[in-house]
Structure 1
Amino acid sequence: MTTMIGYLRVSTEEQADSGLGLDAQRDAIQRYADAHSWDVVWYLDEGVSAKSLDRSQLQAALTRLQVLPKRRDVDGIVVAKLDRLSRSVHDFSGILKLAAARKWAVVAIDLGVDTSSPTGKLVANVMMSVAEWEREVIGERTSAAMQAAKRQGKHMGRVSALPQSTGHRLMTLRTTHTIAGTANALNAEGLTTATGAPWSANTVAKVQKRLLLNHSAPVSPRT
């Protein structure tokens, strides 16, 4: 029997207390699960936004999914609507890549994303391609800005071999994520450090400091 994590989220304490929205989410997931003969275990984040993946129950669910396939007791995660899981294309793309690497399924019922099926995988691949294109466009814009700064005589310094798009993504994440949350998000998106290693909170802090010193990048990071 396939067992899926049913993830529920409401963004305000009032919704959490009243159950507003939760019943609809749970009902949509249960009906989809029944149609596919799935068992469901439930995870719920109450009164939190989807602007980042730094949510206690979502992180607990992802940790449970990261166990090696032969030892894992769940087969994937399902949400009624994508915005319950993430409002960021980058974050969702990272989750999809993580799921593909670890061989667990992601289901967003409203968009028809179901990586346990061939059609759902196709939809997921399109979304990941869009996210990759967006990252490349951001990288090009960052590069153009840096070149303009150099022409104006500003000292740009040296920031190892970290891709400019990755540095930009790190600084963007830091506006809404903690240092540890930023490291987790970068790893989830498949982005590595300049040496190809996974991100840690310490590495994020060091790279952020270097980027700020070299580029004077405006950011109001979470502590």
Structure 2
Amino acid sequence: MTTMIGYLRVSTEEQANSGLGLEAQRDTIQRYADAHGWQVVWHEDAGLSAKSLARPQLQAALDRLNVAAKRRDVDGIVVAKLDRLSRSVVDFAGVLELARARKWALVAIDLGVDTSSPTGELVANVMMSVAQWERRVIGERTSAAMQAAKRAGRHMGRVSALPQATVERLLALRATHTLAGTADALNAEGFTTASGVAWSANAVGKSCARITKR
């Protein structure tokens, strides 16, 4: 039998809203799972926002999925609504890319994304294309801003500081991964550099050096 992780999330502000409550999400996922003959195991982050993927139970779920197929005890992850997993298309696309690379299913019931089916995978591919476009637009805007500053004789360093959630995830991954492995994992999970572009091994090394000098 297929076993899926049912992921539930609610922020502090949303906890009083029954339409976004944990039990409502659980019921939606359970009904979908019953219709597909799936068994569900639950991971729940209560009182946390979706501004990043750095949430304890979500990371535990991803760690459980991202092992060798022979040792994996689950087949994928399912959420009732996309925004329970992430409010960022780029972040969601990062998880989709990870699911594709490691060959596990990702399901967002409200949008009809279900990578275990051809139609659901088509929807997922469209979302990944949108995310790729968004990344390119961010990169072009950053480059244009830096070029304009250079023409005006102003020095531009990093566009912004790394969010704390990114710093924490970067350091956690670096403790057990190579520079390249850390970059790959950050990109797969939807984290970007301070300037909004994808991570490289060089960027990981420089960021770690800056962080440790604080």
Aligned to 1:87: 87
> Residue 15 of structure 1 contacts residue 47 of structure 1 at CA under 8 Å; is this kept in 2?
yes
TM-score by length of 1: 0.77
Residue 71 of structure 1 deviates from its aligned partner by: 1.3
- The RMSD of aligned alpha carbons is 2.9
Letter in structure 1 aligned against 2:57: Q
- Helix, strand or coil at the partner of 1:49: coil
Note closer, same or farther for the CA distance 1:103–1:141 as it changes in structure 2 (3 Å cut). same
Residue 139 of structure 1 deviates from its aligned partner by: 1.0
Q: Tell me, in whole angstroms, the C-alpha distance in 1 between the residues paired with 2:156 and 2:201.
A: 17
> Residue 29 of structure 1 contacts residue 79 of structure 1 at CA under 8 Å; is this kept in 2?
yes
Aligned to 2:168: 180
Deviates more, 1:6-15 or 1:26-35: 6-15
Where structure 1 has 5 or more consecutive residues not aligned to the other structure, the ranges are: 158-166, 210-222
> Residue 11 of structure 1 contacts residue 47 of structure 1 at CA under 8 Å; is this kept in 2?
yes
Note closer, same or farther for the CA distance 1:98–1:207 as it changes in structure 2 (3 Å cut). farther
Once the two structures are superposed, residues 112-149 of structure 1 have per-residue CA deviations (whole angstroms, 9 ceiling, x without a partner) of: 00000000000000001000001111111111111111
Letter in structure 1 aligned against 2:163: T
Q: Tell me, in whole angstroms, the C-alpha distance in 2 between the residues paired with 1:42 and 1:54.
A: 18
Q: Tell me, in whole angstroms, the C-alpha distance in 1 between the residues paired with 2:3 and 2:206.
A: 36
Residue 56 of structure 1 deviates from its aligned partner by: 0.3
Aligned to 2:71: 71
1:23 correspondence with 2:26: no
Identity %: 69
Q: Tell me, in whole angstroms, the C-alpha distance in 1 between the residues paired with 2:14 and 2:128.
A: 34
Aligned to 1:100: 100
> Residue 15 of structure 1 contacts residue 21 of structure 1 at CA under 8 Å; is this kept in 2?
yes
Aligned to 2:208: 205
Residue 205 of structure 1 deviates from its aligned partner by: 3.1
Residue 62 of structure 1 deviates from its aligned partner by: 0.3
After TM superposition, list the pairs within 5 Å mapping 1:80-159 onto structure 2.
80-155=80-155
> Residue 81 of structure 1 contacts residue 108 of structure 1 at CA under 8 Å; is this kept in 2?
yes
Aligned to 1:193: 200
Residue 204 of structure 1 deviates from its aligned partner by: 3.1
Residue 185 of structure 1 deviates from its aligned partner by: 3.8
Note closer, same or farther for the CA distance 1:102–1:207 as it changes in structure 2 (3 Å cut). farther
Letter in structure 1 aligned against 2:189: A
Where structure 2 has 5 or more consecutive residues not aligned to the other structure, the ranges are: 171-181, 192-197
Q: Tell me, in whole angstroms, the C-alpha distance in 2 between the residues paired with 1:25 and 1:64.
A: 21
Residue 49 of structure 1 deviates from its aligned partner by: 0.4
Q: Tell me, in whole angstroms, the C-alpha distance in 1 between the residues paired with 2:99 and 2:206.
A: 24
Q: Tell me, in whole angstroms, the C-alpha distance in 2 between the residues paired with 1:85 and 1:96.
A: 11
> Residue 8 of structure 2 contacts residue 84 of structure 2 at CA under 8 Å; is this kept in 1?
yes
Q: Tell me, in whole angstroms, the C-alpha distance in 1 between the residues paired with 2:106 and 2:19.
A: 25
Once the two structures are superposed, residues 144-176 of structure 1 have per-residue CA deviations (whole angstroms, 9 ceiling, x without a partner) of: 11111111123458xxxxxxxxx86xx57x235
